[in-house]
Amino acid sequence: MTPTLSIVRGGAAEDVARESEQPRNAAAEAPEKAWDAQQFAQEQIRGLVRRVFLQGWPRPARQVVFSSAGSQVEVASVCRKAGEVLAAERAGRVALVEANVRTKALELSFGRTSNDGEDSTETAGALRKSSRQVGRNLWLVSAAAFLGCGENGNNSAWLLSRLGELRREFDFALIHASPAGEADGSAVFLGHLADGLVLAVDAHRTRRRNAMRIREQLSAAHVRLLGTVLRDRVFPIPEKLYRRL
């Protein structure tokens, strides 16, 4: 079963466990805690990390591509947060890998790297050595270090070599790729070579037909869809009532 993570906007998320019913006493009822959407989203990310990387079926994934259904759907922040959660679990060395040469949104979220402008096909040999440590057990692999040049995004020999290096030097790799729906198919191809792909869709911008088409493409390319991220889901019910669901 493909796990689903909902990133909420101003309130609720899709996957919520029902709270057990407690005896209610109007006179002695404790004040309710305010709904914390950011905390809930963080819990959802922890759940996704546990299911994909730590408890994955039939085996835990080590290299996962994070992609979206379109350029208007942001997924770099989810990739980063998942990597930070995984590194905090002390599960081993974790790499956040930039593979979207067009936006470099993951890379830019950390600011300029220490080796900006210095990487090349020749100098990017040892990935961990040419990467930037951005946290405990967490490294950022720049697009230049991972791909060398943009043309290598669909070069199977290059990508297999790079993924092999990632496996040797890191315990886990979270790869930020271009949208899965783009014509060049680089994200789908990378997902095929890695252990699978997590797909982000937007509740208001992604058409169901487009999402189904991407899912069919992933299936045809033998890409494991490890999880889906539903961004900006808003429920038209009062927050106080939703917290009782």
Answer whether 45's CB lies under 8 Å from 207's CB: no
Give me the average pLDDT of each 10-residue run along the chain (245 residues).
52 31 48 66 88 82 95 94 93 94 95 52 64 95 87 82 94 96 88 95 86 93 93 56 47
* Residues paired with 169 in a beta bridge: none
Task: Output the pLDDT for position 43.
Answer: 87
Q: Note the pLDDT of residue 188.
A: 94
Average confidence score pLDDT of the chain: 79
Mind listing the domains of the chain with CATH numbers? 4-13+36-242 (3.40.50.300)
pLDDT of residue 152: 72
Cβ(75)–Cβ(197) under 8 Å? no
pLDDT at 3: 56
The closest alpha carbon to 64, from 125, 11, 3, 126, belongs to 3
**Dihedral sign for Cα atoms in the order 208, 1, 6, 86:** negative
pLDDT confidence of residue 126: 77
What is the model's pLDDT at position 148?
Answer: 84
Q: What's the per-residue H, E or C state across the chain?
A: CCCEEEEECCCCCCCCCCCCCCCCCCCCCCCCCCCCHHHHHHHHHHHHHHHHHHCCCCCCCCEEEEEECCCCCCCHHHHHHHHHHHHHCCCCCEEEEECCCCCCHHHHCCCCCCCCCCCCCCCCCCCCCCCEEEECCEEEECHHHHHCCHHHHHCHHHHHHHHHHHHHHCCEEEEECCCCCCCCCHHHHHHHHCCCEEEEEECCCCCHHHHHHHHHHHHHCCCCEEEEEEEEECCCCCHHHHCCC
Residue with tokens 């990597």: 83
Residue 5: the pLDDT is: 60
pTM (whole model) above 0.85: no
User: What is the tens place of the pLDDT at every residue in 220-245?
Assistant: 999 999 999 987 655 454 555 445 44
pLDDT at 7: 53
What pLDDT was estimated at residue 52?
Answer: 92
What local confidence, expressed as pLDDT, does residue 155 receive?
Answer: 82
CB distance 201 to 172 below 8 Å: no
